[in-house]
């Protein structure tokens, strides 16, 4: 008797669940899965302006591989990603060191180090700082008697210029701080009793405890920098001479300004394949962390 | 907790180390403050002072003129007596872009948070195990796939809603096209695709999973309806996760740039992020819009005569940053607790 009632109530709950989920299912289908599926079809077509689209098979991919710009954008993106990874640990180090300060200093510094400003605003500020004639950076160099730099206009310097704002303006510091504060004090106290020093505490307690968060942030950071768009788009728009043109910028360029939907999607699929490989590798090596 | 033990803190060597750490952190803070200081200082400079070489680090005549100009934007009478209208780069006063940003951001939050939370609650607490496993993969599967692949198909989808194709297909055997909605150049083009987020779904589900079933069952036995369980029991417990998701959702929508740039191509609809980037491009002489080089120089001269250039842009940046900062202050306490939730591990 009770079991039947339980079944009955599960049915009722399931029905309610379907109602609760229906908007999410609709949106997830139309804006989540449908475009992903369509991408594999769109990349096989050539879209004419006036005539209906035409099936061209893999010609879009051939077109991409014949285009030197394709290799250029991937090279730029890989350099950018590498440099972003080089500074990946900086906010972690800052957070760990921050914990050494006394309570009130932590409070103040947490605001000063990690308070956010709107991301476009921070990019635009740097554009003003990098200004070759009136910008702050060049006038500092000038007042020190050093030769001024051309910053964003210098093809060799430009990717470094894209990294610099990231060091100072954003940073997932709050997430690291929250993780650090969630490590139980007893662990450190026990280690202290056994005579562990600063480094061994960091190495044996802090870092292993942060491992899941670090693994996830690393993956997010790689995906984010492989698909970077707004920073280079606003700062340089790909210039000078495509030295800062990134993959997603090229996709948007092809889609909006040239209406080359097929070629753009083909490029997106190549990026997708590369990212999938990275994600699979990451999941293989950090499997136990992310799934738990 | 500090890793350097308390007892050792009196020793000279340890004191020196602590002092070095402190110095390192404060230098970092100062480096971080320089751009923000520069933004603020530039925004309160009068137009002539912006282009001084070397730049002044403290404005000689601080003025809020730039703020006034960007919010009112009127033309002026030139020395020859002709009325000079505002350049075409900023047709509307600031509050139009501010309003667009607010509509997009709060529209996204109002749609996204309840839809995502309800789906997560249904999967976590209501659905039978078999279905919830299948639907769980359906919901979070897109998170494992890099989103750029869907960029162009979504762009096409927006232009005639249920069909992600270049043109609307015909109904079979007829010459009539299927009915379709054009969402292009509407706020919905930005709001609706963000209506469900796999990432926030995981956060919500991770939290709802920690609520013991026994509490909900006890309420059910007492005769509470599912809706009142949701409202009276689940919602109050889940405040931290709602706060964290609200903050993430707010900053993602407020800072979004690429998608509004692609689907809102009328200046009246630009959110602040798009307009800021556009003005910055004008001011540094990069143009890709129809007017070309001469038009650009002309517009720039006009803007400087009107009394704003980079100072106006920096004022806009400050206006754009205030809501982000306010939200950060409001949600900071919740964030520190909310991030520790299981879903974010």
Residues on chain B touching A216 (C-beta within 8 angstroms): 345
The confidence score (pLDDT) of residue A171 equals 64
The confidence score (pLDDT) of residue B339 equals 52
A266 contacts A247 by C-beta, under 8 angstroms: no
Residue ranges of domains in chain B, CATH in brackets = 7-84 (no CATH), 94-344 (1.10.3720.10)
Percent of chain B with pLDDT over 90: 27
What would the mean pLDDT of A199-206 be, rounded to a whole number?
86
Angle between helix B310-338 and helix B272-283 axes, rounded to 10 deg: 140
A128 contacts B42 by C-beta, under 8 angstroms: yes
Instruction: Give whole-number Cα distances, A14 to A18, B25, B128, B237, B342, in Å.
Output: 6, 54, 6, 23, 25
- Residue A22, pLDDT > 90, answer yes
Contacting B residues, span 159-198, partner chain A, CB-CB under 8 Å: 161-162, 164-167, 192-193, 195-196, 198
The confidence score (pLDDT) of residue A292 equals 41
pLDDT by residue (tens digit) across A72-93?
999 999 999 999 998 888 888 8
* CB pair distance less than 8 Å for B29 and A234: no
d(CA B3, CA A117): 31
d(CA B205, CA A23): 17
| 3-state SS assignment for residue A11 | helix
Is the ipTM reported for this complex over the cut 0.90? no
pLDDT by residue (tens digit) across B58-71?
888 888 888 888 88
d(CA B199, CA B252): 12
pLDDT by residue (tens digit) across B247-266?
889 999 999 999 999 999 88
The confidence score (pLDDT) of residue B14 equals 82
The confidence score (pLDDT) of residue A290 equals 45
Structure tokens at A146: 């050093």
Among A99, A202, A251, beta carbon nearest to B148: A251
Going by CATH, does the domain composed of A58-291 fall within 3.40.50.920? no
Beta bridge partners of B76: B84
Structure tokens at A211: 């491992």
Secondary structure element (H or E) that encloses residue A55, with its range? strand A54-55
The confidence score (pLDDT) of residue B81 equals 64
What would the mean pLDDT of B99-128 be, rounded to a whole number?
93
Query: Nearest residue on chain B to A239, judged by CA atoms?
Result: B286
Q: Would an 8 Å CB–CB cutoff place B262 in contact with chain A?
A: yes
Contacting B residues, span 96-125, partner chain A, CB-CB under 8 Å: 115-116, 118-119, 121-123
Nearest to B151 by CA among A232, A119, A248: A248
- Residue B74, pLDDT > 80, answer no
The confidence score (pLDDT) of residue A291 equals 43
The confidence score (pLDDT) of residue B69 equals 84
């Amino acid at each position: 008797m009770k079991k039947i009632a339980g079944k009955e109530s599960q049915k009722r709950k399931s029905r309610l669940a379907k109602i609760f989920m229906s908007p999410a299912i609709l949106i997830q289908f139309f804006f989540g899965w449908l475009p992903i599926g369509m991408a594999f079809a769109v990349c096989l077509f050539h879209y004419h302006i006036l005539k209906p689209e035409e099936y061209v098979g893999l010609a879009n991919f051939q077109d991409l591989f014949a285009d030197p710009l394709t290799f250029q954008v991937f090279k730029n993106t890989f350099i950018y990603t590498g440099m972003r990874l080089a500074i990946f640990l900086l906010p972690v180090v800052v957070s760990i060191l921050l914990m050494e300060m006394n309570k009130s200093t932590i409070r103040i510094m947490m605001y000063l180090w990690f308070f956010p400003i709107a991301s476009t605003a921070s990019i635009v500020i740097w554009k003003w700082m990098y200004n070759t004639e009136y910008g702050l950076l060049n006038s500092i160099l000038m007042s020190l008697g050093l030769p001024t730099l051309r910053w964003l206009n210098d093809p060799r310097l430009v990717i470094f210029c894209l990294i610099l704002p990231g060091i100072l303006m954003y940073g997932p510091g709050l997430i690291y701080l929250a993780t650090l504060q969630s490590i139980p004090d007893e662990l450190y106290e026990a280690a202290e009793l056994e005579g562990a020093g600063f480094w061994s505490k960091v190495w044996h307690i802090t870092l292993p405890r942060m491992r899941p968060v670090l693994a996830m942030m690393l993956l997010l950071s790689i995906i984010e920098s492989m698909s970077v768009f707004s920073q280079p788009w606003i700062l340089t728009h790909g210039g000078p001479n495509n030295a800062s043109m990134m993959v997603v910028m090229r996709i948007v360029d092809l889609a909006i300004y040239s209406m080359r939907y097929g070629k753009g999607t083909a490029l997106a699929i190549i990026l997708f394949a590369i990212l999938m490989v990275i994600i699979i590798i990451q999941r293989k090596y950090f499997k136990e962390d992310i799934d738990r | 907790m500090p890793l350097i033990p308390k007892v050792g803190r009196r020793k000279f060597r340890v004191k020196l180390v602590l002092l070095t750490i402190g110095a390192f952190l404060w230098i970092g803070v100062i480096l971080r403050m320089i751009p923000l200081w520069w933004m603020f200082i530039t925004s309160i400079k009068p137009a002539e002072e912006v282009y001084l070489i070397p730049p002044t680090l403290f404005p000689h005549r601080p003025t809020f003129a730039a703020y006034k100009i960007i919010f009112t934007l009127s033309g002026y009478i030139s020395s020859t007596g002709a009325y000079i209208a505002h350049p075409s780069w900023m047709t509307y006063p600031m509050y139009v872009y501010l309003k667009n940003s607010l509509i997009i951001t709060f529209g996204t939050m109002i749609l996204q948070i309840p839809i995502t939370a309800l789906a997560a609650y249904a999967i976590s607490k209501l659905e039978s195990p078999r279905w919830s496993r299948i639907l769980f993969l359906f919901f979070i599967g897109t998170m494992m796939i890099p989103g750029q692949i869907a960029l162009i198909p979504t762009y096409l989808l927006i232009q005639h809603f249920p069909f992600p194709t270049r043109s609307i297909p015909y109904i079979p055997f007829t010459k009539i096209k299927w009915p379709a909605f054009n969402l292009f150049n509407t706020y919905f083009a930005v709001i609706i695709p963000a209506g469900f987020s796999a990432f926030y779904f995981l956060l919500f589900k991770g939290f709802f999973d920690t609520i013991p079933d026994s509490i909900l069952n006890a309420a059910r036995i007492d005769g509470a309806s599912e809706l009142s369980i949701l409202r009276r029991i689940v919602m109050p417990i889940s405040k931290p996760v709602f706060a964290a998701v609200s903050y993430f959702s707010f900053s993602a929508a407020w800072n979004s740039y690429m998608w509004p740039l692609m689907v809102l191509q009328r200046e009246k609809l630009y959110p602040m992020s798009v307009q800021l980037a556009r003005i910055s491009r004008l001011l540094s002489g990069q143009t890709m819009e129809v007017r070309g080089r001469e038009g650009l120089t002309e517009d720039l001269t006009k803007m400087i005569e009107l009394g704003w250039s980079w100072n106006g842009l920096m004022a806009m940046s400050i206006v754009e940053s205030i809501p982000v900062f306010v939200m950060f202050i409001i949600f900071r306490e919740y964030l520190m607790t909310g991030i520790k939730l299981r879903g974010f591990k």
